[in-house]
Amino acid sequence: MAPSFALDPYLAGVAARVEGELRRAAEAGARGGPARLWEAMTYALLGGGKRLRPALVCATAEAFGADAGEGSLALRFAASLEMIHTYSLVHDDLPCMDDDDLRRGRPTVHKAFDEATAVLAGDALQSLAFEHLLGGPPGDGRAALLAGLLASGATRMVEGQSLDLEAETRAPDLDGVLDLQRRKTGALLAASVVGGAIAATGTDQGLGPAGLRLGLAFQIADDLLDLTATTADLGKRAGKDSAAGKGTLPALLGLEEARRRADDYCEEALQAFAGLGERAEALRALARFVVSRRK
């Protein structure tokens, strides 16, 4: 990666394209569906955020020479992946799960609307993700592969959330924490990288392990921020995971060792991207951003 790579404009450009795709999908649904439901879905989808997963999709596709602009399969998958991610946040914030009042500096969906609407909005976003992904030109086998990848990633993510809830009453050991994080966070981060490769080439290019390492690095960085950042910085309640007694690498190993492991996982992912040449500058910059971000 060239040291001067302009990551902020790249993230902003991906966010603009993905949010346009999300807005069009929400507007199309709202024309024929219950107004309150689609209002809640739109509120969730367009609530900001880094759009890191879509950026990883687009950057990986571009690293293999594919287009990730409007109308591309890569962008369609990126938007569908963000729908799955958004549904998971809506459900995670519910009182029966993590019971959060703030997400990205705004009231969570069940606070802005109500709990039943939040459940239904999350359900509908999950279905919409596959409808959107498979709604492109017929006959493209890559879309079916991407749908399978998305379904598998979503299942692993839910398994991780289940393990996370168990961890509040039965603290896992190191292997248990890593297994939880590979599922809850790693699965969709890996799907971002693998999905970009499939959209570009029709195969995963062997990038699954690198994607999982990025997922682990991201989650460790998130756990560190939970301990060191403020609520204003994060846009959500700081310190909640620590207060809940959740099993994390910082809790098990201490801040410095956890930070070292995050850096190591990031470096392993970067090594996997090393042979992709100049077209992978954005991908390498995003990998470094995973561990250097401040919110």
Question: Which residue do the tokens 């990883």 mark?
Answer: 56
pTM over the 0.85 mark: yes
Instruction: Quote the pLDDT of residue 168.
Output: 82
Instruction: Quote the pLDDT of residue 294.
Output: 77
Percent of the chain with pLDDT over 70: 93
Instruction: Quote the pLDDT of residue 218.
Output: 95
Q: What is the mean pLDDT of residues 252-273?
A: 95
Residue 167 CA: distances (Å) to CA of 160, 211, 244? 10, 24, 9
146-170 pLDDT tens trace: 999 999 999 999 999 999 998 888 8
Please determine, for residue 232, whether its predicted confidence score (pLDDT) is greater than 70.
no
Instruction: Quote the pLDDT of residue 214.
Output: 96
Instruction: Quote the pLDDT of residue 273.
Output: 95
Instruction: Quote the pLDDT of residue 230.
Output: 59
Picking from 105-114, 220-229, 260-269, which range would have the lowest pLDDT averaged per residue?
220-229
175-214 pLDDT tens trace: 999 999 999 999 999 999 999 999 999 999 999 999 999 9
Q: What is the mean pLDDT of residues 252-274?
A: 95
Q: What is the mean pLDDT of residues 110-115?
A: 98
Q: Is 100 helix (H, G, I), strand (E, B) or coil?
A: coil
Q: What is the mean pLDDT of the chain?
A: 92
Q: Write out the two tokens for 170.
A: 């039965």
Q: What is the mean pLDDT of residues 41-68?
A: 96
Second-level CATH architecture of 7-292: Orthogonal Bundle (1.10)
Residue of 51, 44, 63, 112 whose CA lies nearest to 284: 63
Q: What is the mean pLDDT of residues 227-256?
A: 71
Better-scored residue on pLDDT, 73 or 167: 73
CB atoms within 10 A of CB 113: 20
Instruction: Quote the pLDDT of residue 100.
Output: 94
Picking from 85-94, 226-235, 263-272, which range would have the lowest pLDDT averaged per residue?
226-235
Better-scored residue on pLDDT, 103 or 244: 103
Q: What is the mean pLDDT of residues 28-57?
A: 95
Please determine, for residue 8, whether its predicted confidence score (pLDDT) is greater than 50.
yes
**Domain residue extents for the chain:** 7-292
172 phi-psi bin (left φ>0, alpha ψ -120 to 50, beta other): beta
CB atoms within 10 A of CB 205: 19
Instruction: Quote the pLDDT of residue 226.
Output: 86
Instruction: Quote the pLDDT of residue 86.
Output: 97
CA dist 265 and 214 (Å) reads 6
